[in-house]
Structure 1
Amino acid sequence: MSQKRAQLDVESISCSICLDVMKDPVTIPCGHSNCMGCITNYWDGEEHNTKESCPQCRKAFTPRPDLVKNTMLAFLVEQLKKTGLLDVERTETQKELEVSRQNIQKRIQDREKYVKLLEEEEKAINRFANKAMKDSQGQFAVWSSFMMKMCSDVKQNIISQREIERNRVRNLQKKLEKEISELKSRETELKKLSQGEDLNQLRHIYNSLPPLSESTDTSCIKPRPLRYFEGVAVEASSGIDQLDEFMVGMWTNLLIIVSEADVLMLKPEPTTKAEFRTISRRLTMDPDTAHPHLEVSKEDTRVTYINKLRRPCADHPDRFEVHKQVLNEQAIVGRCYVEIKRGGSMVDVALAYWSNERKGANNKVGFGCNPKSWVLRCTKGGFHFAHNNETVQYPAIEFNTVGIFLDHGAGVLCFYKINGDTMTLLHRVQTTFTEPLYLGFKLYANAGDYAEIV
């Protein structure tokens, strides 16, 4: 009760400017009281010099009133000090302040500890990233050096073998040319002898001719396709194909490992459009993957279905042959957000592995019909989600813009309906991704239907 009374009394004698117990209390014409020093400083500090006002009720005074000490309030303050009620209030307030200060100190210590941990983590990130770059560069340098040495060794072996084969051919050629010269000379001698009339003399001269050199073996000289060292190119090509397959697999694994460097410190998913925009990426479609009925814009961001085949395009191993599909160029790992604007009766928006097949009309090719793709099929009557030939049907919802959020390391894929800054979740996937993902579109046989990265 005494504390309540003390609180009431203290409030009644507190200055509205400094909020402390009044010192030299004065009362102004409106009836409110303040410390003489506080009200003087307050009036001296006001921007207008013509009118002074009450800091509580804002009543203005002209001219500036004289300040007279309120003896009653001054007496009351002295009495409260003597009774110790002010000390009680001050003690209670100090206790509250001390508790609050201790709580703040604890929060400061906690935050400083977290700041220190984050500083250590940043140092570790830089240290391990630099080590990873140095180690990987060293390994790639070793591989590069090995490849250069192997290339040099093969080249030197080819040069050496070329000289051996050239010398063999040249020696055989010289031997044959010498034999031809000798035969021609003998033919000339025999021709002259055949013109003589003395048979005995002819026989004598013929028998005295030296024997011809041994005939050169020509069994190894036959008309045949001249294809030297072709096996080297074939073997090198085969090796390159195997190496390429190995390198693609290693590149895929490296991308995933790098993107998941912070998986142990899982980040919260974005919740607002502004947060999603911080992880947006500029993606472009790959014309080499586009079906001939799909036209990719010059900026490689818009794909449109056309009835007539676009200008003749060279066959490409990455091009979709039957399904009217297309993939983007950049591998997507880590976190990414992208928005797609669509138009027309039916458009598929998908994420797929690059290893998704391209040729034929089977389920291994179509988005959503295999384990390598996840698709949101948007129609005028609604939408549905498909993966590995399993479909989830949803009620009809009108929307033209789709937002896609991917957290590759966390295995999260979300499709959103976008309306301005409002995002409505359409479908969420929780899985484990084993390869980098690529954005894909599929359009159907409706001229003018399109999908565009915005």
Structure 2
Amino acid sequence: MASSSSLLSEEQFLCSICLDVFTDPVAIPCGHNFCKACIRKYWDTTDLCQCPMCKKSFDRRPDLFVNTFISEMAAQFRKSVQVKATSGPDHCPTELRGVACDVCTGTKHKALKSCLVCLASYCETHLEAHQIAPALKKHKLIDPVENLEDRVCKEHDKLLEMFCRTDQTCVCVLCIKTDHKTHYTVPLKEEYGKKKAQLGKMEVEVQQMIQKQLQKVKDIKYSIALCKRDAESEIAGSVQVFTALVRSIERSQVDFIEVVEDKLKAAERQAEGLIKELDQEITELQRRHTELEQLSHTEDHLHLLQSSASLCSLPPTKDWSKISVHSDQGVGTLRRAVSQLEETLISEVKKLCDAELKMLQQYAVDVTLDPDTASRYLILSKDRKQVRQSNTPNNHRDNPNRFSQCSSVLGKEGFSSGRFYYEVQVKGDSWDLGMAGESSNRKGDIFLSPLDLYWAVVLRNGNEYNANEDSAVHLFLREKPQKVGVFVDYDEGQVSFYDVEARSHIYSFTGCTFTEKLYPYFSPYFSKRGQNSIPLIICPVEYTD
């Protein structure tokens, strides 16, 4: 039967964190094993509780219990390795986890110091000579290191004691007299101090960056939590609104059915009364018909003549030609019911829009007009908050940003991220309002469309409203806006317009892709009567409660 040492390899008993034989091995839920202290320390340095091997995450830290079977097997393996290490002259004992003494024969002992002159490492016993002999006392001893030959100049076989700052390399004392003669060299200790200070500073900066990134992670998690809370709140609100609307529709349907059914019952009652009255007249007519039929067969001359006087006239009956039962009991009822629903829906939309505007107003920005972009046929106020038409051109100096023919002007401030909102008083009978891209055309005739980097709503002739998509979209507004709010969500690609006083939504450009700065766009436009003397006025946002 094979021994356990022949069946098991060292890799099976190594912790993947410290790369040493297991000490107090524990198993976590995913099945991987680690030293108890190693996995605890790993989890202490990260926000996520996950396996270092398979990256499986856990909702909370698992309880850790030492796996006695693996612990005993690891102990046996460690013992077998120690026995094997001490059985041969060329092997170091397992507990030697450092630099071995270069003088020891057989069992190697751990070195206490390395000598930079002898280029050898010594254990406690073999180090005594350097502590006793006067000549050896002068040698430079350091903490034990491996590969001492790397500390010697390959060309001059001298200790690397200097540093060339010109070539950024370690050199010996002979190097600075030959190849590095004209270079800036300093003692290794001096460069060590400088580099150590730099590394210390960098360590602090890296630690600060780590803290900054960790804080960013916390901020993102907090933002996600807020988004989740807002989403839940919106869903709850939508359920409430739609439930109310559905109930309103159901109530309207029930009311409509009741009205139609009531009208049907009234019509049925009317019909029953008319039929009863007709039945009475029919009975009377049938009686008269019988009498006439009998009289027509009599041969009694006297009887016929005496009876004909009372039978020759028709019995009295109602004029039924204009009497009917109407079958259109529901005419107008359905329309009125749906109209009432429309009013209810408009009221709910107004409430939602009011809440939406209150939320958007928190993104209000201070917008001023840019005189360098204003057409020569525009007059700006001193505070650059108003713009109106001029009959005569101004002597503005031309520049690439100025509108050459169209009576337009841009805002001074540009935006390339986030959300922003502003309001404009629009009392004229013609105007343009919206956003323009930084590279939009401003020379000659311009075309207001997203393809030409303009997102605008326009008014013409006092009542013709259009959203200038790639093809114009006609807008049918219940009220004429006096103040228009413009909201932009740069990252979401949205430009929206609102009637501030009516608390209603006018139009939204959605699904846009913005790749450059956006600027508020204004044009008082020329009316049919010529000059448009009513200005566009940028208003301060009045926050509503």
TM-score by length of structure 1 reads 0.41
Q: Which has the larger Rg?
A: 2
TM-score by length of structure 2 reads 0.35
Q: Which has the higher contact order (CA 8 A, sep 6+)?
A: 1
**Greater fraction of residues in helix:** 1
